[in-house]
């Protein structure tokens, strides 16, 4: 169990309330971290600052995971990469954890579910290369940000433009 990088042994500081231990670790991302459209590549570096503190009922885990996410702009499909700091604070009970609560397992604390939730919360669900990304030309698929004056000239009769609009390709 100790070979899992996001599992921590709480016996090293004990159960006396106030006892604590801090960690500053460089770890590797587990598989499937983040969102399908914007995720943290497996094996990419994660900086983890973590403080584990014994309280009355359990161990409080507080910290920040710094991750590097990659994905595609939802408007123009260009690659997007960005760093995020994902904050979390979660109580792991010594015992009697309910359905939505976490508990230690034989004095070990598995941070991975908390890390996963924190990363999903921190990442934008609709990543953009730029907040003002104009997307793609509906006629030819050109990236409009590269070519702001992009035009197909007068090829489209203005009388038909409303109709053209109706036949625009649906966004993929």
Q: Which is nearer to Zn ion, 47 or 134 (CB)?
A: 134
Q: State which residue, 75 or 116, has the beta carbon closest to Zn ion.
A: 75
Say whether residue 76 binds Zn ion (CB under 5 A). yes
Burial of 160 (0-12, 13-18, 19+ CB in 10 A): exposed
Compare residues 91 and 128 and give the one whose CB is closer to Zn ion. Answer: 128
- For 63-92, the DSSP string reads EEEEEEEEEE-TTT--EEEEEEEEEEEEEE
Q: For Zn ion, which residue of 73, 111, 115, 123 counts as binding (CB under 5 A)?
A: 73
Q: Which two tokens stand for residue 95?
A: 């015992």
Element (H, E) at 38: strand 38-40
- Does position 37 interact with Zn ion (CB under 5 A)? The reply is no
| 133 belongs to the binding site for Zn ion (CB under 5 A) | yes
Residue 48 or 136 with smaller CB distance to Zn ion: 136
**Positions 111 through 130 that interact with Zn ion (CB under 5 A):** 129
Query: Is residue 72 involved in binding Zn ion (CB under 5 A)?
Result: no
The token pair at 162 is 């409303």
Per CB under 5 A, does 139 bind Zn ion? Answer: yes
Task: Decide if 150 contacts 158 (C-beta within 8 A).
Answer: no
Residue holding tokens 């914007």?
Answer: 38
- Any contact of residue 82 with Zn ion (CB under 5 A)? no
Report the interface residues with Zn ion, using CB under 5 A.
73, 75-76, 78, 129, 133, 137, 139-140, 142
């Amino acid at each position: 169990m100790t070979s899992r990088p996001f599992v921590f042994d709480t016996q090293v500081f004990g159960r006396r309330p106030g006892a604590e231990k801090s960690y500053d670790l460089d770890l590797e991302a587990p598989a499937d971290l983040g969102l399908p459209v914007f995720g943290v590549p497996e094996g990419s570096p994660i900086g983890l600052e973590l403080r584990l503190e014994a309280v009355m009922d359990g161990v409080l885990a507080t910290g920040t995971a710094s991750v590097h996410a990659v994905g595609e702009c939802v408007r123009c499909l260009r690659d997007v990469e960005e760093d995020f700091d994902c904050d979390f604070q979660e109580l792991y009970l010594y015992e009697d954890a309910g359905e939505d609560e976490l508990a230690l397992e034989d004095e070990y604390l598995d941070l991975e579910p908390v890390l996963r939730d924190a990363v999903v919360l921190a990442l934008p669900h609709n990543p953009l290369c730029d907040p003002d990304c104009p997307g793609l030309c509906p006629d030819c698929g050109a990236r409009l940000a590269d070519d702001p004056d992009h035009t197909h000239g007068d090829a489209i009769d203005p009388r038909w433009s409303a109709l053209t609009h109706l036949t625009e390709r649906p966004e993929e």
